[in-house]
C-alpha cells in the first residue's frame, strides 16, 4: 500500500510539473484505442513538442486543484489522456484532429490555453489555422512587401527622368547639345578720353622728394640782359 501511495504522489507531482511547464493542455478520451495506436499518436505529438500521457481522473483533479487549469475538471470523464503542449498549439490541434478522423475512437474533449478554457470548437478553429512557420513566413512577406515597393519607386525615378529627357530631345528633332559657357577674362580698360590717373604717391615717396629738394644746390641768378641793354642805350656816346 505504501508503494501505491508513493506512486500516486509521484504521479501528482509529475502532473503539477507538466501543468506549470506547458502553455496548453488538451484532454482526450482514448476508449477503444489500442496500445499501438496510442504509441503512434504519442510519437507524432512528441515531434511537435507535446507530451501525450494517460492519467487517472482522480489524480488529475488532485494535481490541478487551485491552479489556472482547474477548468479541465469538466472534461475528466472516461479514460483520459492529456496532451501537454510546449510548441505550436495549432500544429498539435491539427495533428489530433487528423488522427481522430483516421481513428474515430479518439475523442477530443477540450483543453486550456494560458489559463483560459478551450472548447472542442475552439480546438477545431486552432486546427484550421496555418502553422506557426507559415504565419511567420506570411508576416515576413508583409514586412518585405513595402520595402520592395519603396525600392522599386526609388529605382523608377531616375529611369522615368531618363525616358522623359529622351522624349524631349526627340521632340526637338535630335540631340540637344548645351553650349559651353566660357566667361571672358575681365580686362580693366580706360574709357576713351579719360586719362589714367597717376598712382597716388605713398608717404615714403613724399619724404624722398622733400629730402632731394633740400639737398639740391641753389642756382645763382644771372643779371637781366634786358635791363643792361637799356642802361647802355641811355648813356651818351662820347
Overall average pLDDT of the 12-28 stretch: 89
Task: Identify the pLDDT of residue 192.
Answer: 52
What is the rounded CA–CA span in Å between residue 42 and residue 84?
Answer: 11
- How does residue 218 score in pLDDT terms, banded at 50, 70 and 90? very low
Task: Identify the pLDDT of residue 229.
Answer: 46
Task: Identify the pLDDT of residue 142.
Answer: 66
User: Which of the two residues, 208 and 60, has the higher pLDDT score?
Assistant: 60
Task: Identify the pLDDT of residue 175.
Answer: 53
* Residue 111: partners with Cβ closer than 8 Å, 6 or more residues away: 24, 25, 26, 27, 72, 75, 83, 117, 118, 123
Task: Identify the pLDDT of residue 87.
Answer: 86
The one-character DSSP state at 143 is: H
Question: Does the structure show a pLDDT above 90 at 99?
Answer: yes
- Please check whether residue 25 is in contact with residue 72, taking contact to mean a CB–CB distance below 8 angstroms: yes
Task: Identify the pLDDT of residue 52.
Answer: 95
Q: Give which of 147, 82, 151 is closest to 118, Cα–Cα.
A: 82
The three three-digit cell numbers of residue 181, written as one number: 559657357
- Torsions phi, psi for 153 (to 5 deg): -65, -45
* Confidence (pTM): 0.55
Q: Give which of 44, 52, 51 is closest to 102, Cα–Cα.
A: 44
- How does residue 68 score in pLDDT terms, banded at 50, 70 and 90? confident
Overall average pLDDT of the 216-223 stretch: 48
CA 183 to chain centre: 49
> In degrees, to the nearest 5, what angle opens at C-alpha 128 toward C-alphas 123 and 134?
120
Mean pLDDT of the chain: 74
**Record: fold of 7-129:** Alpha-Beta Plaits (3.30.70)
**Domain spans, the chain:** 7-129, 132-173
- Please check whether residue 43 is in contact with residue 83, taking contact to mean a CB–CB distance below 8 angstroms: no
Question: Does the structure show a pLDDT above 70 at 203?
Answer: no
What is the rounded CA–CA span in Å between residue 171 and residue 59?
Answer: 90
User: Which of the two residues, 226 and 5, has the higher pLDDT score?
Assistant: 5
The three three-digit cell numbers of residue 232, written as one number: 647802355
Question: Of the ranges 13-27, 138-152, 208-222, which is most confident?
Answer: 13-27
- Please check whether residue 98 is in contact with residue 123, taking contact to mean a CB–CB distance below 8 angstroms: no
Task: Identify the pLDDT of residue 67.
Answer: 84
The 10 Å CB-count burial string (b at 16+, else e) for 23-33 is ebbbbbbbeeb
User: Which of the two residues, 39 and 69, has the higher pLDDT score?
Assistant: 39
Amino acid at each position: 500500500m505504501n508503494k501505491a501511495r508513493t506512486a500516486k504522489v509521484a504521479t501528482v507531482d509529475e502532473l503539477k510539473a507538466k501543468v506549470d511547464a506547458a502553455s496548453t493542455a488538451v484532454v482526450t478520451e482514448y476508449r477503444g484505442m489500442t496500445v499501438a495506436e496510442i504509441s503512434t499518436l504519442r510519437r507524432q505529438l512528441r515531434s511537435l513538442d507535446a507530451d501525450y500521457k494517460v492519467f487517472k481522473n482522480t489524480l488529475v483533479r488532485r494535481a490541478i486543484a487551485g491552479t489556472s487549469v482547474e477548468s479541465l475538471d469538466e472534461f475528466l470523464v472516461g479514460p483520459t489522456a492529456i496532451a501537454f503542449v510546449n510548441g505550436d498549439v495549432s500544429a498539435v490541434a491539427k495533428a489530433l484532429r487528423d488522427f481522430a478522423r483516421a481513428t474515430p475512437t479518439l475523442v477530443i474533449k477540450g483543453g486550456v490555453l494560458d489559463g483560459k478554457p478551450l472548447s472542442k470548437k475552439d480546438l477545431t478553429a486552432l486546427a484550421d489555422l496555418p502553422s506557426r512557420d507559415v504565419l511567420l513566413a506570411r508576416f515576413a512577406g508583409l514586412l518585405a512587401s513595402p520595402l520592395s515597393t519603396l525600392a522599386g519607386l526609388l529605382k523608377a525615378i531616375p529611369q522615368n527622368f531618363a525616358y522623359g529627357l529622351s522624349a524631349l530631345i526627340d521632340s526637338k528633332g535630335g540631340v540637344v547639345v548645351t553650349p559651353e559657357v566660357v566667361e571672358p577674362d575681365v580686362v580693366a580698360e580706360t574709357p576713351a578720353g579719360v586719362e589714367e590717373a597717376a598712382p597716388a604717391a605713398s608717404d615714403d615717396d613724399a619724404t624722398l622728394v622733400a629730402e632731394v629738394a633740400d639737398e639740391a644746390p641753389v642756382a645763382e641768378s644771372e643779371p637781366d640782359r634786358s635791363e643792361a641793354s637799356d642802361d647802355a642805350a641811355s648813356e651818351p656816346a662820347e
